Amino acid sequence: MASIKADIAIMGSGLCGLSAAITAAQAGAKVVLFEKQKSPGGSSNFFNGIFAVESRWQREKFIMYTRDEAFQAIMEYSHWKANTRLVRAIVDESATSIDWMEQQGVEISDVITNMPYAQHTYHYVKGHGAAVIKQLALRAKESGVDIHLGAPVIELIMDGGRIAGLIAEEDGEEVEVEANAVIIGSGGYANNKEWIKKYHGYDLGTNLIPYGNVDKMGDGIRLAWEAGAAAEGMNALELIAVGPVSDEFDMMNDLEVAASQPDLWVDPRGRRFCDEGICFYDTSGGNVNTRYSEGYTYRIIDDSIIHRLETYGVEKEGSMERKPGARLFDIRKIIDASMQHGSTEVFAGDSVEELAENMGIDPAVLKATIDEYNGFCAKRHDDLFAKKPIYLRALEGPRFYAVKAHTTMLGTKGGIRVNEKMEAVDKKDSPIKGLYAGGFDAAGIQTDSYPINAATGLSSAFAMNSGRIAARNAVEYIGRDG
Amino acid sequence: MPRVEINGNAYETEQGQSILDACLQNGIYVPHLCSHNELHPIGACRLCVVEIAGEDGLFPSCATLAEDGMEILTASEAVEETRKMAIELMLSGHQADCGTCIKYLNCELQSLKQYLIEDDLSVRRRSRLFPVTESNPIFSHEPNKCVLCGRCVRACRDLRGIGVLYYKHDHGEAYIGVGPDADEDISLAEAGCRFCGACAEVCPTGAVLDRDEFGQNKSRKEALLPCSNACPAEIDVPGYIRFIREGQISEAAALIRERVPFPLILGHICSHPCESSCRRGQIDKAMSICMLKRFAAENDAEQIWEGAIQKKAETGKRVAVIGAGPAGLSAGYYLTLMGHAVTVYEEMAEPGGMLRYGIPEYRLPLDVLRRELEDIMNLGVDIRTNARIESVEALLSEGYDAVLVAIGAHRGLKLKIPGSRGDGVLAAVEFLRSVRMGEAPDLGDRVMVLGGGSVAFDCARTAIRCGSQSVMVACLEPRSGMLATEEEINAAEQENVAIYPSRSFKRIIRDEGRVAGVELMDVKSFYYDEERKLNVETDDESSHVIDADMVIFAVGQLPDVPDDFGIELTDRGLVDADAMSFATGVEGVYAVADAVTGTDKAISAIAAGRKAALAIDKRLGGRGRLALKLASEVQYPARLGRRDGFAELARADVSRELPQDRVCDFRLVEHGFDAERAAYESGRCLQCDLRLKMKAEKFWSSY
């Protein structure tokens, strides 16, 4: 068995793991990092921006949202179920982390928001998360971090109740690592069918689709629990609603963007179920979808809506590239191909009744829904769900279309109970000596939903800040006790 | 040795090495896509271009040899521009659904994009909108993800010598299809595919996907080599099948023996979870793995394993094993190999446990059992029979350094339904044991076995052989969901055992004390709740009585633990031990297999015995590791060659004694394969292990 001696061993190469690795290595620690996949970064490859308050970018743009306000807003959003000291620590650290990122060579292009009536906390990065991960991985190597890819951690080694190292697997061989501190940032359990069923009641892949998560089995969480850490927050998921979803569609294709606009949404039986104006807040769109155990709702569009999107463009942006006003040209092409392939994601009909039949729902119900909705549009008031009148636009045909929008998960939010130093703790908040956790593996920051309009970019910010905080404390710990 | 300069530094290269390989070998990453370690370079993708001093233009480094004195530049403005153009063109038509693609993070294209693209693409994306092909077994084809690098075509044609994949066109877009006809795709099976998976292995993105590999909560090896991984002992199944195919039968037997000490016994009685997961089963029928194992063990003429086996130096440590069943004997065997002195205490007159006293002789003849038990004793394992251990404490006080409790589950359970107490009602294990001890009870003409697992069928078929005229099996499960294997059920039916599936047992009817029949109800549905409690929904109107003279309960077994044994039991009456470490609550005492888990497969007991031996070795100061090397290195050929009709090769039949003959006595029912049949059957194997031996490409982040 090969063996490695290090000061700090890190599990996971996402924002949390890499930030921790660089921070620790630059503070003089010998750091070894293990990543289960062949490519680094995990879900962090997908983020576009990162939350911070009182950053240099915000000062320059007179964005006056303060740390105190952000702390209060995040706590209110969680109804004070979040870990107060942890939230405070992350909020207070956030601006420093933006400077730190830039020092590591990450390029930030702007601070923005991508929804109405929300705080400008989203520090938009150049080249998406993938470019950030690449830069941080290169910087970690320059800083002397020993990175092992395709190397899952399979065991923590404990000695007298404190961390003594870990065992990883590389090229089919076990590698024993001697280290006095371990930082876990392995990205949650979004692909663990059993846990998702057990803790959340969903059938993964059927009524809950994971997005941007690969092979997340909760490895880090399980290892921390086995080492004595307490479980916390195994009820929180970051949800959105997206469709059509199938192997033949690009993500963020024009039809998907068209289906995400604030037009008419109906449940699996054909009844309207919400103010579609919530489309700007992805979390709300995901949460409202969870009422339906089928795992999807429908977005109804017609030729008049397609024409509007072709000529006047979108209202809800389609990823960051297609901002409000961007026109969509490929909607019909994608619908035609879907019809040809017999897709079960997209349906069409020359009348509302024919559409309903093709969807397999009661035509009378869908007809009544659309008649009622068109009535609200005519009188400019949504008696049911109070959608803003500017989004009330009647469906006139001649052809009607339905697109499935699936309940989709961006990540899991619970797992290891931690304190504000990112130490893994037991039920009574006593630290497991030498064990730290951050990112999607650590609980306490988002208790049931993602606080999207109070702190957009919080998941990536938590990953990076928790990684940096964990590393600082781990370096101090090994200096003192190790 | 050619010496070259790369980016201003001098390096030695190997004769005939490409510039790309010279760079990579020296830790200088050069992006590349169409080239692959195992394939001939074609220099098509333009990602690996480099500059060579004194030469005009750019050179594909994969297809250009490193020559003495060359000055190579792997990065320059021209190089970067060309690479960027090349990857952008690939990505413009590549389906952008990384967020839901199961290949993500193991995708070379994604890794290259991360390395080469700094921001969004400068070209417009186009959707190709090909349908996904799911109609073939094992693989899915997603042409919208294909970047036309041709690796799969070359792997299939050049590396494996098969050639079922071709470049084709449809509605103005190129794609890779199956079969030579330019206008039509055929199925992989029709095209002569051997389902080796080389295409999926070399695909740099998600265009050819193994459906088993992803999203099943399994590691790559578990998914792609399911036979070995479904085997509790992790026997190298494709490895020994390869030896058999090549006529190296003793090598095959030795390879099996690297993981289990009882290949011949297992060849007769293993319930072969490997076959249930065999990937050939997705095409037609699974490989006949168990019979091939039996063939290897029965025809091991040279016995090369004996010469290869080596005991470690004696450690001076002593271990007592309680129970000479498959788990205890495996543990004793491996502990002995690791240098410890082992004494096995067995309550019965002969060793073997359930193999000797549970499994009927028509499945496992005595001489077969004794042959392999002798091997264990010859190694120096001291087996003391007629020695029941009443207390673990007493054993420890004899100075043993560790004790392993491997007492199995020999106490049969009876359901507590009305009428179950008294004569005429037996528990399965007691019945089977008495028959194998030559003390068969008088059964009467009509025997009803209650239970649907292997033990139930062993009882039924034994009862027939004991002379009962009418033998019946009734069980909760529907016919399709019975726990016994299909083979067992079919064999029993051929022997005129009547099966009553989906029945609940109400009571045993007695007439003046004697068993007269069983009252049954039809089961609509049943399930076990979280506390493992059985919930049954029956049809109220369905009560019916079946006449019987004898009832045998085959509804589970528990360990027979002496009163003052000194080990904690669980609520269910099992020995309480940790599933991973085998430790019990008593220091130095371990427990394993059926006594801990309840009745399980023989192969599970054997595998667990080995693991427990390793755990005990750690306690005794060893490293808890044992890498037995008994067979020669398996050679992995790259080339398979075409074999028409490969997908249609039917599973080899097993020849059996005729039902009317075999029920007269306890003769062995199934005959082993002869050499011809073994050669044929081994030729059906997909050789799923081959692809795992291919040298994978490393990504930029690993340099």
Please report residues of A whose CB lies closer than 8 A to that of B123. Answer: none
**B100 to A209: CB separation less than 8 angstroms, yes or no:** yes
Range scoring the smallest mean pLDDT among A134-143, A317-326, B145-154, B270-279: A317-326
Domains of chain B, start order: 1-90 (3.10.20.740), 93-225 (3.30.70.20), 235-307+631-687 (no CATH), 310-410+559-619 (3.50.50.60), 415-556 (3.50.50.60)
A147 φ, ψ to 5°? -100, 130
Task: Give pLDDT tens digits for B641-682.
Answer: 999 899 999 999 999 999 999 999 999 999 999 999 999 999
**B102 to A214: CB separation less than 8 angstroms, yes or no:** yes
Please report residues of B whose CB lies closer than 8 A to that of A12. Answer: none
Please report residues of B whose CB lies closer than 8 A to that of A252. Answer: 96
Please report residues of B whose CB lies closer than 8 A to that of A39. Answer: 104-107, 110-111, 114, 699, 701
Helices (H), A151-289: 193-195, 219-226, 254-259, 282-289
Q: How confident is the model at residue A481 (pLDDT cuts 50, 70, 90)?
A: low
- Please indicate if any CB of chain B lies within 8 Å of the CB of A16: no
**A337 to B127: CB separation less than 8 angstroms, yes or no:** yes
Residues of B with CB under 8 A from a CB of A: 95-100, 102, 104-107, 110-111, 113-115, 117-120, 125, 127, 129-132, 140, 142, 144, 214-215, 217, 699, 701-702
Three-class DSSP category at B110: helix
Task: Please tell me which residue of chain B has the smallest CA distance to A335.
Answer: B129
| Record: fold of A239-408 | Flavocytochrome C3; Chain A, domain 1 (3.90.700)
Please report residues of A whose CB lies closer than 8 A to that of B143. Answer: none
A 296-335 residues with CB < 8 A to B: 321, 330, 333-334
Give the DSSP letter of residue B155. I
Three-class DSSP category at A196: helix
Task: Give pLDDT tens digits for A134-156.
Answer: 999 999 999 999 999 999 999 99
Average model confidence (pLDDT) across chain B? 94
Q: How many CB atoms lie within 10 A of CB A291?
A: 11
Of B95, B111, B215, the CB nearest to A191: B215
Amino acid B333: pLDDT: 97
A 21-40 residues with CB < 8 A to B: 37-40
Task: Please tell me which residue of chain B has the smallest CA distance to A38.
Answer: B106
Give the DSSP letter of residue B418. T
Beta bridge partners of A10: A33, A183
User: Residue B104 contacts by C-beta under 8 Å, 6 or more apart in sequence?
Assistant: A39, A212, A214, B98, B110
Say if residue A384's pLDDT is above 60: yes
**B129 to A337: CB separation less than 8 angstroms, yes or no:** yes
Say if residue B213's pLDDT is above 70: no
Kindly report the nearest CA distance between residue B153 and chain A, in angstroms. Answer: 22
Say if residue B311's pLDDT is above 80: yes
- Please indicate if any CB of chain B lies within 8 Å of the CB of A249: yes
CA distance A165 to A478: 12
Please report residues of B whose CB lies closer than 8 A to that of A211. Answer: 99-100
Helices (H), B93-158: 108-116, 151-154
What global pTM score does this model have? 0.87
Task: Give pLDDT tens digits for A391-431.
Answer: 999 999 999 999 999 999 999 999 999 999 999 999 999 99
Amino acid B618: pLDDT: 87
Tokens of A67: 């740390």
Task: Give pLDDT tens digits for B575-605.
Answer: 999 888 899 999 999 999 999 999 999 999 9
Tokens of B190: 């029709």
Q: How confident is the model at residue B121 (pLDDT cuts 50, 70, 90)?
A: confident
CA distance A366 to A345: 17
Kindly report the nearest CA distance between residue A221 and chain B, in angstroms. Answer: 16
Please report residues of B whose CB lies closer than 8 A to that of A240. Answer: none
Say if residue A436's pLDDT is above 90: yes
Say if residue B372's pLDDT is above 80: yes
DSSP strand E in B205-266: where? 208-210
Please report residues of A whose CB lies closer than 8 A to that of B125. Answer: 250
Task: Tokens 């009803």: give the residue.
Answer: B448
Closest-CA residue to A201 (of A39, A417, A407): A407
Amino acid A254: pLDDT: 93
Amino acid B60: pLDDT: 97
Q: How confident is the model at residue B530 (pLDDT cuts 50, 70, 90)?
A: low
Please report residues of A whose CB lies closer than 8 A to that of B111. Answer: 38-39
Amino acid B522: pLDDT: 96
**B105 to A215: CB separation less than 8 angstroms, yes or no:** yes
A 338-357 residues with CB < 8 A to B: 340-341
Average model confidence (pLDDT) across chain A? 95
Kindly report the nearest CA distance between residue B115 and chain A, in angstroms. Answer: 7
Closest-CA residue to B7 (of B84, B86, B73): B73
Amino acid B217: pLDDT: 61
**B131 to A215: CB separation less than 8 angstroms, yes or no:** no
Task: Give pLDDT tens digits for A186-220.
Answer: 999 999 998 999 999 999 989 999 999 988 999 99
A 122-151 residues with CB < 8 A to B: 126-127, 130-131, 133-134, 137, 147, 149-150
Give the DSSP letter of residue B281. G
Kindly report the nearest CA distance between residue A158 and chain B, in angstroms. Answer: 15
Of A126, A131, A149, the CB nearest to B702: A149
Tokens of A269: 């039986």
CA distance B552 to B447: 7
Say if residue A482's pLDDT is above 60: no
Between β-strands B550-553 and A122-125, what pairing exists: parallel, antiparallel or unpaired? unpaired
**B104 to A217: CB separation less than 8 angstroms, yes or no:** no
Cα–Cα separations (whole angstroms), residue A360 to A339, A363, B127, B596, B606: 15, 9, 28, 51, 53
Beta bridge partners of A408: A209, A240
Q: Tell me whether residue B364 is exposed, middle or buried, using C-beta atoms within 10 angstroms of its C-beta: 0 to 12, 13 to 18, 19 or more.
A: buried
CATH number of the domain at A2-236+413-480, please? 3.50.50.60
What is the amino acid identity at position A22? I
Q: How confident is the model at residue B561 (pLDDT cuts 50, 70, 90)?
A: very high
**B217 to A127: CB separation less than 8 angstroms, yes or no:** no
Task: Please tell me which residue of chain A has the smallest CA distance to B119.
Answer: A127
- Please indicate if any CB of chain B lies within 8 Å of the CB of A247: yes
Q: How confident is the model at residue A368 (pLDDT cuts 50, 70, 90)?
A: very high
The percent of residues above 90 in pLDDT, for chain B, comes to 87
- Please indicate if any CB of chain B lies within 8 Å of the CB of A251: yes
Range scoring the smallest mean pLDDT among B108-112, B220-224, B262-266, B382-386: B220-224
- Edge to edge, the sheet with strand A153-159 lists A2-5, A173-178, A162-170, A153-159
**A248 to B106: CB separation less than 8 angstroms, yes or no:** no
Task: Tokens 């050639």: give the residue.
Answer: B163
Range scoring the smallest mean pLDDT among A132-146, B50-64, B122-136: B122-136
Kindly report the nearest CA distance between residue A166 and chain B, in angstroms. Answer: 17
C-beta of residue B405 within 8 angstroms of C-beta of residue B583: no
**A193 to B217: CB separation less than 8 angstroms, yes or no:** yes
Kindly report the nearest CA distance between residue A128 and chain B, in angstroms. Answer: 7
Task: Give pLDDT tens digits for B432-476.
Answer: 999 999 999 999 999 999 999 999 999 999 999 999 999 999 999
Q: What ipTM was reported for this prediction?
A: 0.89
Query: C-alpha dihedral over A227, A228, A233, A238, to 10 degrees?
Result: -10
Please report residues of B whose CB lies closer than 8 A to that of A191. Answer: 215, 217
Task: Tokens 């990937």: give the residue.
Answer: B279
Please report residues of A whose CB lies closer than 8 A to that of B118. Answer: 126-127, 131
Domain boundaries, chain A: 2-236+413-480, 239-408
Give the DSSP letter of residue A199. I
**A250 to B217: CB separation less than 8 angstroms, yes or no:** no
A 253-272 residues with CB < 8 A to B: 253
Tokens of B513: 């004390």
Kindly report the nearest CA distance between residue A192 and chain B, in angstroms. Answer: 7
Kindly report the nearest CA distance between residue A23 and chain B, in angstroms. Answer: 19
Task: Report chain B's C-alpha Rg in angstroms.
Answer: 31
**Number of CB pairs, chain A paired with chain B, less than 8 A apart:** 106
Please report residues of B whose CB lies closer than 8 A to that of A192. Answer: 217
Task: Give pLDDT tens digits for B383-429.
Answer: 999 999 999 999 999 999 999 999 999 999 999 999 999 999 999 99
